Structure 1
């Protein structure tokens, strides 16, 4: 066949295929556009209304408002046809059901709006912020969610403010009954007054284990964990949500190509574990000792220059975030044991002073008390051990009853960890913390010379 004829036949074939395609596309277009935009939106509105009412026990959403700096908050919703919604959440200790109103509205798309106050609004209150960086922004949450359809029975939304995906899954009766267990998971992660102050994140890629110092802000529910490898600046960050059995994190923790999102709590080891395949896992657990041991304690040792540290009631050291719950409780215990009108005003440590080594307790309403101590080094544990010498220079008297419980956290055979912190408390003086090796007692001081 001549080239001229080949070209002619190709053109005929092309036009035939084009005509067939045009016919098909025209048919599809007629199917898509057989409704006006208003009719399509109204149909979608009805679809969402029906869907919200279709689940017997309502819907559950773990709402990560912004997982670059905030964690997740579980909300349960039970919608009614009369525009009422019953809601509960684990945002705070109030997990009771609250009734409010909602509406399904039309805009550029269909959305569900919680029109009167309920727990979801706590995430959008700009005056309710968990960190200084979020001042005036709150928890970056929404109370209006744009509807984008359904997937495997779930309702898909995007938040109006940050356009983040929010997925409503069908709730069960057990979800409502178990919501309070989220608060137990929170306590297990945050720790109580009797729990160690330090936490470790261990990541196992199936071949080796990497360790991180697990840092967690319970207000923002956000974790930033710094690598413990020498010279490493790696930080693993993730938002944390609570579940009845442990934790859920976002973004997912990526380990050896696997995505770990669910951590299960083990009561015996007091740890949370996310398990993959092929030996891949991640564990969050407590540590009795600081994860980064330093030589900061050496300035307290005999032969060093005089060192003076002070904690002061009513001053900036009182507001330091490094003061532990146990320390605050024990300090309050001193005041509770003192006569009316007498209160403790400071706890000071003097090392290598001309008078010796002593803890100096001052009060409003009574004379100060000196607890003289001996100082020895634990070079392996990188801490100092303070042992009793005398009270006010008298070796025959015992501990004052009102100081006994407080003082035992500093003066005992297990010793004290000393750390120079990397922050200041208003003034330029260095900040040092003293952490008991035998309890969760940690006191924050200025170094005053």
Structure 2
């Protein structure tokens, strides 16, 4: 009886194993038909687009990049990119393949332009060592239609939306017009002073376009003297700049940045209407919000060998101080430095040398007094021993700082921009210098 039971038990095990084997064979012989159909559909869309595909990637590590692809039936793909001037003008051929993973997937399996932004070498990608810009070169299809493919990176989740290119777009890409958009943008930034957008609400928004970091930013200062900024990374396109994320101001969406060739200017569409950039000779963001203790700038240096000679009455004051110091044993004044050294403290420093060429500094410390309008006066606290020695020669400059009330502002001239302490009620008199 026991032998019979063992036989039956063994028979059930064998039948179970056979059943598993049959079931596994059945699965292997009948893959997911929907996935295969999607894979075939994706392959057909990629290869049958008459003029190729264009799209943008905005990696998690920053920046944005545009691409043009031509997918062949032989597993080869030609691509162009706005990564740099070379990739924008010289098409590169590499290979790709399609694979039925959990979703239909495009794998760029040999090194091409799309790998540059994912390269772990930061000298190539411009990203972080070991991970580049955290982009992808394997993309799963999320949505497939006749003229648009929505793809998502397998590793880092980079979004790549491809649009079927028109003949005109394909010809423009192949003709290097993306590289021309580089040139247009660089030239615009070189030629204009400080661009801004006026939204009609009394606030001028400073425009900052960084070709190197591919960042577009709008900034302004609110009623509380706080700097407010909104920004988005971008990719170059044939029309201008394509933002990675929509920006919103006063409840209205700012989409992309467009170039108007006839007007030689950029514009945005705001509430459905074109809004062109304006230009200012000095920055839109007031220097007073950027200059001070713990801020972006805290020091101004006037060195006549470095900064341009602007039409300021201070130059006469400086010349009198230079001559006065030279009259004290032929000492030579090299530069004047003004530093916000504390929350309410400033240092006026004179760098000079004697006839032997030895360098010295003469410092005077002041307490900063600020009135209701933000204007500054400087109250004497102390001077060092060197100032006690040479102060009489520098009296004109010392008196200039101690007897005037100043506002902090920008000044420009001869193509240069400087920070300045402008004498209140006399715009022609200001101490200025480089940061």
Q: TM-score range by the shorter chain?
A: 0.5 to 0.7
2:76 is matched with 84
Q: 1:160 to 1:381 in 2, by over 3 A?
A: same
User: Rg larger in 1 or in 2?
Assistant: 2
Q: TM-score, normalised by structure 2?
A: 0.58
Q: 1:350 to 1:42 in 2, by over 3 A?
A: farther
Cα distance, 1:161 vs structure 2: 2.8
Q: 1:270 to 1:236 in 2, by over 3 A?
A: farther
2:214 paired with 1:213 = no
Q: 1:209 to 1:295 in 2, by over 3 A?
A: closer
Conserved 8 A contact 1:226-1:233? yes
What pairs up with 1:46-125 in 2 under 5 angstroms? 46-66=40-60, 70-94=62-86, 95=88, 96-125=90-119
1:188 is matched with 184
Conserved 8 A contact 2:287-2:408? no
Q: Alpha carbon RMSD of aligned pairs, Å?
A: 4.6
1:229 is matched with 222
Q: 1:148 to 1:127 in 2, by over 3 A?
A: same
Cα distance, 1:252 vs structure 2: 1.3
Q: 1:385 to 1:119 in 2, by over 3 A?
A: closer
Aligned length: 309
Q: TM-score, normalised by structure 1?
A: 0.56
Q: 1:200 to 1:172 in 2, by over 3 A?
A: same
Unaligned runs of 5+ in 1: 1-32, 300-306, 314-322, 328-348, 361-366, 368-373, 387-407, 411-415, 421-442
- Superimposed CA distance per residue, residues 153-197 of structure 1 (whole angstroms, 9 cap, x where no aligned partner): 311211223324321111123223223333333333344684245
What pairs up with 1:348-359 in 2 under 5 angstroms? 352-353=321-322, 354-355=325-326
Unaligned runs of 5+ in 2: 1-26, 293-299, 309-317, 327-331, 337-356, 358-395, 422-432
Cα distance, 1:36 vs structure 2: 4.7
2:34 paired with 1:40 = yes
1:291 is matched with 284
- Superimposed CA distance per residue, residues 102-140 of structure 1 (whole angstroms, 9 cap, x where no aligned partner): 000122222001111111111111223699874443222
Q: Aligned equivalents of 1:175 and 1:384: distance in 2?
A: 44
Q: Aligned equivalents of 2:333 and 2:177: distance in 1?
A: 48
2:169 paired with 1:175 = yes
2:116 paired with 1:138 = no
